[in-house]
Amino acid sequence: MSTFNRSKSINQRTLGVGTPRTASFGSPRVKLASVSQWFRWLFVIGALFPFSIAIAGGYFYLLPSLTQAFQGFGTSKFNDSMDECNFFDGNWVFDERYPLYNASECPFAEQGFNCVGNGRRDEDYLRWRWKPKRCDIPRFDVHDILGRLRNKRVVFVGDSMSRTQWESLICLLMTGVEDKNSVYEVNNHNITKRIRFLSVRFNSFNFTVEFFRSVFLVQHVWMPRHVPRRVRSTLKLDKLDDISNQWVNSDILIFNTGHWWVPEKLFETGCYFQVANTVRLGMPIPIAFRMALDTWASWVEKMIDTNRTHVFFRSYEPSHWSEQSHRLCNVTNLPISEVGGKDGNVFSDTILEVVKNLTVPITVLNVTSMSAFRSDAHVGKWNGNPSIPDCSHWCLPGVPDMWNEILLSYLLSQS
């Protein structure tokens, strides 16, 4: 459980989520020195001393601790095919029937993820299908799925990785809708990086696919009073995000978090942890992460009717940055053939432990390992801003489609 195979060539990094990596920000990026992991942890532990590293942009380390993968957990009501087949243990096979849609024809694929639209010419990366060892993921049948989603509410909660999966699901489903105008964002909002809520309604089928941006899942409060001057905001570890009441009464609810739990996103921006009325300046990130997840877990137990709602937690989505530089990456033409090495870590152990302890069933989408093969599938320089490559986010169509096909296969096994 506590080991995960990962390629040496994968330099796990965090996302520039909501930061101007792909936006047209002109600010020069400060290249971080290669601080070793242990130093980094010393920093975290010694968080009483404010960080002096100025971070101008979205270049952040990922604590490799978050890179572990998880296996799905069986549920009782939902006939979980996990019993017979581990969806996440398999390999990528070439399949000419892919891709399943054209991002240029899907109004909900954001420009930054439309690699073909942004000039990517090699096409093999569009044609890989994930093949679990002991079974097949049911072939995507859009009309069947549209029918099953009728009158339902699908809710994604998390960071930009959740937004990508949200976009992918909408694009997949739109291929089965004749009248494209019958699919619309309910508030007429455009997709932006910082928007907190997006809901796309499939009017003919009376269902919505929604996205809530909540990068920490717990409450983020600006300008708390009576705190040391360096504290500009706090994360209330014992309170779930204030928009969380809108996540209940959904039928399918998919969470992720992790990429923002790094010093660069927290302490270095003046964000510290808070429990009840006390700011905990020295609290290490892993402890805080655990508290936040415990808060999430009790919220799920208290607020979610799991007879109605199937809850998923998606594991960490790996990135493929260059070993040499923290701002360079070359997207490959082919997936890498092997992910090796071991990476024990505290954060993913935490997620697993917390999920296992829940009294209600949660399915963990263990996408880490399957995605780690796909060094060919990141947006790279085809993100609309070639000078700032991005090897965290994925092209659409692409890898997030396969996460959705797995998600939908749980839906199929329900009935």
CB atoms within 10 A of CB 351: 26
| Residue 104 falls in the annotated catalytic set | no
Q: Which is nearer to ligand NAG, 5 or 233 (CB)?
A: 5
Q: Which is nearer to ligand NAG, 263 or 398 (CB)?
A: 398
Please identify which residue in 20, 57, 71, 184 interacts with ligand NAG, judged by CB under 6 A. 71
CA 304/CA 309 separation, integer angstroms: 7
Are the C-beta atoms of residues 304 and 311 closer than 8 Å to each other?
A: yes
Please identify which residue in 34, 37, 204, 206 interacts with ligand NAG, judged by CB under 6 A. 206
End-to-end CA distance of the chain: 30
- Would you count residue 76 as binding ligand NAG (CB under 6 A)? no
Instruction: Report residue 7 as tokens.
Output: 């390629």
Q: Count the residues of the shown chain that bind ligand NAG, applying the rule CB under 6 A.
A: 31
Give residue 123's identity as a one-letter amino acid code: E
SS (H, E, C) 78-145: CECHHHCCCCCCEEEEECCCCCCCCHHHCCCCCHHHCCCCCCCCCCHHHHEEEEECCCCCCCCCHHHH
**DSSP tag of 371:** H
Measured in degrees and rounded to the nearest 5, phi and psi for residue 105 equal -105, 5
CA 95/CA 103 separation, integer angstroms: 19
CB of 20 to ligand NAG, least distance (A): 19
- Would you count residue 186 as binding ligand NAG (CB under 6 A)? no
CA 53/CA 50 separation, integer angstroms: 9
Q: Which is nearer to ligand NAG, 18 or 397 (CB)?
A: 397
| Residue 220 falls in the annotated catalytic set | no
CA 52/CA 48 separation, integer angstroms: 12
Please identify which residue in 27, 36, 181, 188 interacts with ligand NAG, judged by CB under 6 A. 188
The one catalytic residue among 259, 326, 378, 393? 393
- Would you count residue 9 as binding ligand NAG (CB under 6 A)? no
| Residue 294 falls in the annotated catalytic set | no
Please identify which residue in 32, 51, 57, 89 interacts with ligand NAG, judged by CB under 6 A. 89
CB of 300 to ligand NAG, least distance (A): 13
- Would you count residue 328 as binding ligand NAG (CB under 6 A)? yes
Q: Which is nearer to ligand NAG, 208 or 234 (CB)?
A: 208
Per-residue binding string, ligand NAG, 140-179, x by CB under 6 A, is: -----------x-x--------------------------
CA 365/CA 256 separation, integer angstroms: 10
The one catalytic residue among 390, 392, 401, 409? 390
Q: Which is nearer to ligand NAG, 272 or 312 (CB)?
A: 312
CA 129/CA 399 separation, integer angstroms: 9
Q: Which is nearer to ligand NAG, 56 or 328 (CB)?
A: 328
- Would you count residue 102 as binding ligand NAG (CB under 6 A)? yes
Give residue 105's identity as a one-letter amino acid code: E
CB of 57 to ligand NAG, least distance (A): 18
Listed in order, strand segments (DSSP E) in 43-89 are none
Per-residue binding string, ligand NAG, 292-321, x by CB under 6 A, is: -------------x-x--------------
Please identify which residue in 9, 51, 79, 227 interacts with ligand NAG, judged by CB under 6 A. 79
- The strand pairing partners of 321, in sequence order, are 11
Going from the C-alpha of 271 to that of each of 218, 237, 340, 384, the distances in angstroms are 13, 12, 35, 31
The one catalytic residue among 7, 65, 81, 160? 160
Q: Which is nearer to ligand NAG, 58 or 107 (CB)?
A: 107
Strand 310-314 and strand 362-365: pairing? parallel
Query: How big is the chain, counted in residues?
Result: 415
CA 57/CA 193 separation, integer angstroms: 14
Q: Considering only residues 330-359, where is the footprint of ligand NAG by CB under 6 A? A: 330, 352-354, 357
Catalytic (active-site) positions? 160, 390, 393
Which positions touch ligand NAG (CB under 6 A)? Answer: 1, 4-5, 69-71, 79, 86, 88-89, 102, 104-105, 151, 153, 188-190, 206, 305, 307, 322, 324, 328, 330, 352-354, 357, 366, 369
